[in-house]
Structure 1
Amino acid sequence: MIQPAEEAFVTRWFAPGRINLIGEHTDYNDGFVLPFALEVGCTATISGRAEDWSARSLQEPDAVVVRRSGLSDAPEVAGWSRYVLGVLWLLTDRGVDVPPLEIVVDSDVPTGAGLSSSAALVCSVVRAVDDHLGLGLDDDAVFALTRDVENDAVGAPTGGMDQLVSLRGRAGHVLLCDMRSHATRSVPLDLAGAGLAVLVVDTRAPHQHSDGEYGARRRGCEEAARQLGVPALRDVAEDDLADALARLHDDELRRYVRHVVTEDARVLEMARLLDADALAEIGPHLSASHASMRDDFRITVPEVDTAVDALHQAGALGARMTGGGFGGCVIGLVPERDVAAAGDVVRRAFADAGFNEPALFTAAPQDGARPA
């Protein structure tokens, strides 16, 4: 049995939500993504002032108190608390003698917006528990635990991108992630230097990672890879795409493959442009990504398509939905001087369409998880 170090009285860690600049549904296909960490996030505060394990959220009315156990003996609890208690269940299963703890979480990431409130939650808790108990987990072990909590304790089939950037994000940079090796590299995103801004439109069309549509597309991608005889769709080169599509006999699978292969290519090309200080040239790749999500992967909804069209009309260099789809947020690369005017165009378009008023804000890359 691994014995944790003597606990401190209170430990507090913050982990951010994220915006994905480009690279949608490529993560679980062993591909490439280019997200950045946000200013908003979740703070987890841990103390030993409990008789059992207590999880409390400042955004929820009731605390959840459970006896100490492993995952196989875990009780049914509220969805948000599984992200908290799942950390303790899995550590127990791995031989850590986790003492009674009180964990309080406080998040300002909008839920249902596709900004990865869940990764902010689980990453803040894992970092705080590791620190509080003196476990000394290295970066790879921390990442693996956060992903296992979402996949195994919560049952959300995420690919790991959200957790990587919440843990490893760097101010002023996007994070190029290879989702096969989980190697990451910071790539500069100097928005202010280019006179540009990332305008985020929260369409307020609800978005959930664990719904059936996300899982269906993941299963479809896995089936397409099996039929093509490759470990994952990442292994289909863009130059070989036409041949791969011809070998598939299901139009839905062909659409999935076309999106993933071309999206991987867009991620790598955008990273190359950013490395070359050509930020103003990435716009067409953002727009092409959205068209692919809309027409091939078919994960957009009228609100996000309206926001993208309105941003283009307002002079955005490029715009796309960000996140797993079926709602959530849209981003537009907009001249900094035109942000207010672009926001007005989006609001008018939503009003004309009879949609709820969207929330708008600008975002720039921030640092990942850190003591609070």
Structure 2
Amino acid sequence: MNQPLTPEAISEAFTTAFGHAPDGLWSAPGRVNLIGEHTDYNEGFVLPFAIDRAACVAVRLRGDNTARLLSSYGDAGMETVDLSTLSHDTMDGWTAYPLGVVWVLRQMGVGIGGFDLFLHSTVPSGAGLSSSAAIECAVASAFNELAGAGLSANELVLVGQRAENEVVGAPTGILDQSASLLSTEGHAVFLDCRTQESRLVPLDLAANGLLILVVDTKVTHAHATGGYAARRASCELGAEVLGVKALRDVTAAELPEAAGLLDPETYRRVRHIVTEDQRVLDTVAVLDDAGPRAIGALLTASHASMRDDFEISCEELDLAVDTALAHGALGARMTGGGFGGSAIALIPAAEEPAVRAAVVGAFAAAGFTAPDIFAVSPAQGALRVL
């Protein structure tokens, strides 16, 4: 993961690489999903918040049809692409994220010619904190302004989702891009994924003596392959058998009847989605009424559902959650698509050293790779920074 750089340092790196200054810098954050996992593509409810780790792109328009792209992450060199040949076959690796957004915008009729782009991101890749959506939203924000497209934040959400679905090949919903584009500091975004309606919910952790600790297990995952797509297919099968548009339309009272119509595995997948939607609604109600100290049990129940019904956890995530709970966390759960990535723990700020030490010790005793542990706070969404 990259260390933070000032906007001025990123601009200087761009100038060194490309020989001229950028037209501007745009930043978009990663996110933690407080609760509501895999409910987004089931047209349900989610409650993410942007974190204080972000992708930043410096961009300058060119007078030709060539795109030059460079990332500060890893050893990848500069990529040069002829935009007249831009297609699914010419977009791969990390450049699929920015080029996917450009491709979608061009498909929509937005006039984007050649450009130089430099990416610097502090969102860890593969950690379940939506590093890909951060890139997509930063790039979408940049070209929305530079090309004068005039798209709203909600429209940019769909641009990022379409790039993720059609170019990257990950069948994700709108959760990640919505968090990155719509968040404000000190709030979570309560999002209805069917209507795309949202409202900000106060999540002032510091004022309540709390923090959210992220435990990046270092078990990487990729949404474009494997279990994520299989879980989505199970949900679609469940909706089809139950005769509903999406699992959002199934209520908890209907679960006993659903059990008689579905095979056991599909039923477990459906039960997670139905109960998780209700946990999101309950969490929003509790935050509005009693504040963040009272939501811990809901977070922990969400993890149990993902572990047992949706089966997207892993040994490292379970160990992180169980250890945090045993050492003072008010609630804990895995966050993100699953099969690795990160867990989050809601803890009193005074307990942070004890929880950190306990998790590190537990991972070492189990022979797991040492986790990366850091605190996050609800941050501002995408914006121009220079």
Give the alignment's TM-score, normalised by structure 2: 0.91
From 228, 245, 250, give the equivalent of 2:259: 245
Q: Which amino acid aligns with 2:271?
A: R
Tell me if structure 1 keeps the 8 A contact 2:37–2:335.
Answer: yes
The amino acid across from 1:149 in the alignment is A
Q: Which residue of the partner structure matches residue 347 of structure 2?
A: 334
Confirm or deny that 1:69 pairs with 2:70: no
Note if contact 1:170-1:365 (Cα within 8 Å) is conserved in structure 2: yes
SS in 1 for 2:90: coil
One of 196, 208, 214 as aligned partner of 2:210: 196
Task: State the Cα distance separating 1:75 from its structure 2 match.
Answer: 3.9
CA separation in 1, counterparts of 2:337 and 2:124? 15
Counterparts of 2:110 and 2:291 in 1: how far apart (Å)? Answer: 48
Match of 1:369 in 2: 382
- Counterpart pick for 1:346 among 346, 359, 369: 359
Asked whether the 8 Å contact 1:301–1:326 carries over to 2, the reply is yes
The one-letter code matched in structure 1 to 2:278 is A
1:226 matched to 2:255 = no
Among candidates 178, 181, 200, match of residue 186 of structure 1: 200
Matched residue, 1:318:
331
Runs of 5+ consecutive residues of structure 1 not aligned to the other structure: 1-7
Measured after TM superposition, the shift of residue 190 of structure 1 is 1.7
| Residue 16 of structure 1: how far off its partner (Å) | 0.1
Alignment deviations for residues 273-299 of structure 1 (CA, whole Å, 9 cap, x no partner): 001133211111111101101111011
Q: 1:90 aligns with which of 87, 101, 104?
A: 104
Q: Which residue number in structure 2 is paired with residue 127 of structure 1?
A: 141
Could you tell me how far apart the structure 2 residues matched to 1:97 and 1:191 are? 43
What per-residue deviation string (whole Å, max 9, x for no partner) do you get for residues 76-96 of structure 1? Answer: 343210111112222222223
Whole-Å Cα distance in 2 between the matches of residues 181 and 79 of structure 1?
A: 32
How do 1:174-323 residues align onto structure 2 when only pairs under 5 Å count? 174-248=188-262, 250-323=263-336
CA contact (8 A) 2:91 2:99 kept: no
Structure-2 separation of matches of 1:208 and 1:37: 20
Alignment of 1:43-122 (within 5 A): 43-49=56-62, 51=64, 52-60=66-74, 61-69=76-84, 73-122=87-136
Which is worse superposed, 78-87 or 157-166? 78-87
Q: Which moved more, 1:330-339 or 1:191-200?
A: 191-200
The reply on whether 1:25 has 2:38 as its aligned counterpart is: yes
Count, aligned residues: 363
Q: Displacement of 1:97 after TM fit?
A: 3.0
Tell me the TM-score normalised to structure 1 length: 0.94
Partners of 2:102 and 2:138 lie apart in 1 by 13
Question: Aligned with 1:333: secondary structure?
Answer: strand
Q: Name segments (4+ residues, structure 1) moved above 3 Å.
A: none
Amino acid at match of 2:325: H
Cα distance in structure 1, aligned partners of 2:22 and 2:207 = 43
Counterpart of 2:160 in structure 1: which amino acid? T
- Cα 1:137–1:258 shift into 2, 3 Å: same
Once residues 354 and 253 of structure 1 are traced to their aligned partners in structure 2, the CA distance between those partners, rounded to angstroms, is 34
Q: Distance in 2 between matches of 1:96 and 1:354?
A: 51
Task: After TM superposition, give the deviation of residue 368 of structure 1 in Å.
Answer: 0.4
Aligned to 2:170: 156
* Structure 1 position 194, deviation (Å): 1.7
RMSD (CA atoms): 1.5
Which range is displaced more, 357-366 or 84-93? Answer: 84-93
Q: What is the CA deviation profile of residues 50-95 of structure 1, one whole-angstrom value per residue up to 9, with x for unaligned ones?
A: 7411222111421221112375x45434321011111222222222
Residue 309 of structure 1, CA deviation = 0.8
Q: What whole-Å deviation, never above 9, does each CA across 1:199-248 have from its counterpart, x for those lacking one?
A: 11111111221121100010010000000000000000122222222222
Shift of 1:153: 1.6
